[in-house]
Structure 1
Amino acid sequence: MTDLAQRMMMDASLSRTEQAALAIGQLAEQAPHGARLGTKKELQEQCGVAKGTFNEALRILQSRGVITVRSGPGGGLFAASPTPIARLGNSILSLDAAEGDVADAVRIRDALDPLLIEDALDHSSAVDITRMRTALDVMRQSADAGDATEFVRANWELHAAIARVSPNAILKSIYLSLLDLIESHTVSVEPVGDRPLPEYIAERQQLHVDLVDALDRRDRDAALRLIHAHNTTQT
């Protein structure tokens, strides 16, 4: 019997997914930061669970920042290093990548926002505005549910919808790539400082509603003022 299989037998009251997550989590916590635990196939076989069960266990562990998963040669499961963070307005992104890389991506994204707003003012159609309002609805639902991470992801989807309006293929490609980089390395969103995160989220929600309204009525002054206020990296 493998060590992982033995670990999984410690609490029979848990589901197979929870048992696998517990066993691999303990293995990761006992390993040095960044240590390779094995390939997905190797660890799945050691746990003795189905692929879907194993992948769900990995999703749980990744969301908790316990492990990282890398593809390609030399890839597999690794014990997570201490999680870096990047500042995003009055909240922080908990990341599984180099803090500087994501912080730089956020800074560049903010610098490109006004250019995309200019394009959206000139080129957005009724269908484009509808897509933006759909993303706003998801943001509102996430805020109501108190899910800060999902709120931020819906926020990024709104900005992706705005970016897709641009006829400038280079600008659009760069911006969407930056969003992908930020999103793919974000584990969670947490409050920073004394300000309650729900209060900050409510403020950001209203700012984005006002921004889409300004785009809808082609109010250039209001849209540019709002995107300046939106800038998360300004001092």
Structure 2
Amino acid sequence: MRTGMQGNGRRGPKISEVIARELANHIVEAGLVAGSVLPTEREMIESFDVGRSTIREALRLLETRNVITLRPGPGGGPVVRRPRPEDLGEALTLILQFEAASLDDVMEARRALEPTIARLATSRITEADLDLMDQTVRLTLQAPNPEVFQEQNRIFHSTLARAARSVVLQVFLESLGCVADGIAGGVTYSARRYVAAARAHERIIEALRARDGDRAEQSMREHLDEAVSYWHKKHKDLVTRPVVWRR
């Protein structure tokens, strides 16, 4: 049997991959925060008893996974970064591009997921979460323009995802949000549409404050259905076009 091959015919992990996983485990288990400095390349060579090229390959792998940042120059080296949902969103976009998935396909997944998150949040959301969501509505109504709406809409939905206290659902939803961002994808709205979206957010917040899971789920579903209906009416060409990976 060839070295590096498993019995089922699949390639076993390279030494650099094993080291990358050990380093990732160390970061998590040691509770290292973003910005923490890892051992130098020389120290890792001695610790793992491998060559420089293997350590560099392991570090590059961690960098591509957004676990670390490699600072150049004297005093530089590997620094903890911590992966974020938008990192998964970028990788997901690339996969979906190869699968020829459209913005419509991504929104369908979001429509299946976010109403459930709204229901979960009714029993778990805090007053601080609700106050922050209220603030996004106020700011949107005060200045219904693309820049304000895009930021406040992001905060509203990410706060709701976090309030459900389900880390897996939160990561998936925020990743989908990075892929299915209508404004970034070219969808345009009038001031009237921004106000309508803010009012829909208000209804969702009211259901959450009342701890009414049925109403929160239905309000979110209606909000997303309305958005999709608008996209199809005004931007049919955009929503049916395959998503594209853009950095």
- TM-score, normalised on structure 1? 0.48
Structure scoring higher RCO (CA < 8 A, sep ≥ 6) equals 2
Structure with bigger strand share is 1
- TM-score, normalised on structure 2? 0.46
